[in-house]
Amino acid sequence: MALTGLQIFKYLPGGKKEKEANCKKCGFPTCMAFAMKLAKKEVPFDKCEYISDELKGLLEEASVPQQQAVKFGKADKEITIGNETVMFRHDKTFVNSTCIAIKLESSDPDFDKKLAKIAAYSVERVGEHLKIDAVVLTDTDNTFKEKISKITSTDLALILESSNVEAIEEILADIKATKPLVFLKDAKTEQIVEIENKFKVPVVISGTSIEEIVEKSSKALESKAENLVINLNKQKDLIQDLTYIRRSAIENKFRPLGFPVITFVDQIASNTLNPMERIIWASTLICKYSNILVLDNFDEALIYALLTLRQNIYTDPQKPLQMEPKVYPIGDVDKNSPILVTTNFALTYFVVAAEIESSGIPAYLLITPSDGMSVLTAWAASKFTGETIAKALKEAKLEELVDHRSILIPGYVGNLKEEVEEELPDWDIVIAPNEAVEIPDFLRNYKTLQKIG
Amino acid sequence: MNITYNQPVKESKLSIRQVKLDNLILGGEFSLPFMKKENNFNSRPLVAIEIQTIITEKYSKILHEAWGDCIKDPVLWAKKAQEKGADVLAVRFNIANIEDHDLEIEKSKVILNQILKAVTIPVIAVGSDRDETDIKLLPELAKAAERKCTIGLVEEDTYKEIIPVIKETGHNVIVRTPIDINLAKELNIFITEMGFDPNKIIIDPNMGALGYGLDYAYSVIERIRLAAFDGDSMLNMPVVTFVGIETWKAKESKSSNVPKEWGDITTRAISWECITASSMLSAGADMVVLYHPESVLYIKNFIEKA
């Protein structure tokens, strides 16, 4: 566990009331200020000339990660996995999203087509571009090397899967700079460790039981190999075992299991060929403790659902994505454009904005300050009220932006109508639909009615 | 360096209460989901199929195709749902928009009893999701039901009127609160203080579909579970999530006018329901209520193998 500022302070001259207390040589006004910075790892400890060996030891011990951060991929597109510090996202947050990889065999006759599709895949959701992170290339014929160069010419990170140690050594000598993750199947731990040491690339340690993995990773740690990713090759009780691996790392600081985990969906679902069942397994492994998830099938719809789940699970629960409260013009607005109001929860904004856009009717979208809550939650917490809506409307100077005096409120909070009317007596309050998906139809009818009126 | 692996098994102070749904038991587990070694109780999550008594034009064409014309008759639909492998049947009496409420409630009572006769699986009667309607409808359904079932959803603004009748008639109840662990606990306390048996309460923490606030429900369920295992006897009730109704109103399940990266509409809609369900199960839900028969098949297969 990391030390707190106060714990650190006790070991500094200021905390021990020594004559060097608050000497300012570290660049901070007091030992306490330095301790706080140190706790946040914002300064190196050697900025303090008087730091004791005891404190150094404690800081070093505390800096051993519960779960090793492992990086792979080209320098400018590097992926970081691991470095998680909690068992549950509500304890703090999960930090490094599960890396989603697709497996391709070098002998696949459709290799080029599949790779192009995977590399090009990108879908926008709540302001983020969701993409596939990596390709696992399996050595199944003599075109392996040629296929590697095809993958490294894309933005995708590379994971190599082969049982030919010599061939891998030869390849790594050439492509070290692209820093692939290397999975040597059936190789001895010594050989795997040697690859890690020699080429400075992360390697996979695989076993059919946790005990087997511990034995191998301990051996690797003895040889100073720390760039490890572990793989538990089994189906039975997999979620339980992955939970035990994460628990050993996070709660018990058990170093041999303090590494990210790679899971191959085809290893666990060999008897369930149905793509939907595979994606169900994949989804539970995003929730329960896989740092890399390898799929053997690429289907747009299934990938989209899986990437959306990953975004949900890895959103920081303490900081819901929020929009700046103000008025957002959607499309080519003019003085007659309708005004819709909603909360500043990013998801709410993006969903509503997308529907307005798809309606083809330009509109103003007024976003109120509501602590990043959705409409119903904000309403229940009194963060979305007649008063907040009126205030936001006035601050955005909507009276000057439009000639009409109508505002559309979300259907779920239709009961706010009177409250808003009281606050905005000159305005006509119209109840819009509950669901964003109904907005396009509603807006088209609304515009027609306006014209008739 | 210590290199001896000890399985980090945990013990719970309290297990989840066992709510009886006819011959099935909902809940009862001692551990987080799929942690078999820590679970001394041989339970598995249940999969329910939800049917509704009124089909509106909003009802998905994909679902209509999957079920066929039986959806026009709730009794036929109920039988079909049982055939499709539902552990439990949820019947939604979505009558909120009907003008003549009293007549519609009378009709609903008849339909409920016809369904209770037509199927052998446990039945959940779900209200209209509109407080004014549910205050009248749910007590009437509770009184009319000719076999024990589960009545829901009871909320903060409706429990005072509905709970006394359910208590008297001996059914289970589903209690819904808005994605908040403290509100869930508070309402369970209020309801048990009215003399309602806590072993007949099922928690519905409410939820959002995949991509629509799923993360909030996910974390609230995990927190409810951990509080229960840590000894909180007002949060150790089984948890149900109404996955179907939420996912089938998401744009992903409805719209074909979307970027091509969203893939095939039917695959997407079913995967949206399945992944929402599997993540709720991963968080600790004891029952997921689904719409599409294929989702039921896939989720049941997953539960069996996990």
Q: Are A277 and B302 in contact (CB < 8 Å)?
A: yes
SS (H, E, C) B26-74: EECCCCCCCCHHHCCCCCCCEEEEEEECCCCCCCCHHHHHHHHHHHHCH
B118 part of a folded domain: yes
Distance CA A100, CA A307 (A): 8
Residue A125 pLDDT > 90: no
| Residue A65: band (very low, low, confident or very high) from pLDDT cuts 50, 70, 90 | confident
Residue A61 pLDDT > 80: no
CATH code, domain carrying B139: 3.20.20.20
Residue A224 pLDDT > 60: yes
Nearest to A352 by CA among A432, A429, A437: A437
Nearest to B153 by CA among B173, B139, B172: B173
Mean pLDDT of chain A, nearest integer: 92
Average confidence (pLDDT) over A428-435: 92
In sequence order, the 6+-apart residues with CB closer than 8 A to the CB of A246 are A67, A84, A87, A261, A289
The one-letter amino acid at A201: V
Q: Which phi and psi angles does B173 have, rounded to 5°?
A: -130, 145
Residue A453 pLDDT > 60: no
B28 part of a folded domain: no
Q: Which residue has the higher pLDDT, B89 or A127?
A: B89
Which residue positions in chain B have pLDDT lower than 50? none
Locate CATH 3.40.50.11600 in chain A.
327-452
What pTM was computed for the model? 0.88
B224 part of a folded domain: yes
Percentage of chain A beyond pLDDT 90 is 73
B25 part of a folded domain: no
Q: Which residue has the higher pLDDT, A40 or A264?
A: A264
Tokens of A226: 């720390």
Bridge partners, residue B125, by sequence: B91, B151
B18 part of a folded domain: no
What does the radius of gyration of chain B's CA atoms come to, in whole angstroms? 19
* Superfamily of domain A69-314 in the CATH hierarchy: Dihydropteroate synthase-like (3.20.20.20)
The string of pLDDT tens digits covering residues A316-364 is: 988 777 888 999 999 899 999 999 999 998 888 888 988 898 888 999 9
Q: Is A273 on the interface with B (CB under 8 A)?
A: no
**Closest CA in chain A for residue B180:** A377
Cα B166 to chain center, whole Å?
A: 18
Residue A271 pLDDT > 70: no
Average confidence (pLDDT) over A11-27: 90
Provide the phi-psi class of A52: left if phi over 0, else alpha when psi is between -120 and 50, else beta: beta
**Inter-CA distances, B122 with A97, A344, B81, B166, Å:** 40, 42, 12, 16
The confidence score (pLDDT) of residue B213 equals 87
**B304 contact residues in A (CB cutoff 8 A):** none
The confidence score (pLDDT) of residue A346 equals 85
Provide the phi-psi class of B99: left if phi over 0, else alpha when psi is between -120 and 50, else beta: alpha
B132 part of a folded domain: yes
Query: What total number of domains does chain B contain?
Result: 1
Q: Is B236 on the interface with A (CB under 8 A)?
A: no
Of B210, B255, B262, the CB nearest to A300: B262
Helix (H) or strand (E) holding A379: helix A375-380
Locate CATH 3.20.20.20 in chain A.
69-314
Listed by number, the residues of chain B in 148-207 with a beta carbon closer than 8 Å to a beta carbon of chain A are 178-179
Structural domain span for residue B118: 44-300
Distance CA A320, CA A247 (A): 26
Residue A425 pLDDT > 70: yes
B160 part of a folded domain: yes
| Residue A23: band (very low, low, confident or very high) from pLDDT cuts 50, 70, 90 | very high
The confidence score (pLDDT) of residue B96 equals 79
Q: Are A211 and B5 in contact (CB < 8 Å)?
A: yes
Average confidence (pLDDT) over A111-136: 95
Among 3.40.50.2300, 3.30.1360.10, 3.40.50.11600, 1.20.810.10, what is the CATH number of A327-452? 3.40.50.11600
The confidence score (pLDDT) of residue B61 equals 94
The confidence score (pLDDT) of residue B38 equals 87
CATH number attached to the domain at A5-63:
1.10.15.40
Q: Is A85 on the interface with B (CB under 8 A)?
A: no
B274 part of a folded domain: yes
Of B210, B262, B282, the CB nearest to A284: B282
The confidence score (pLDDT) of residue B56 equals 86
Q: Is B97 on the interface with A (CB under 8 A)?
A: no
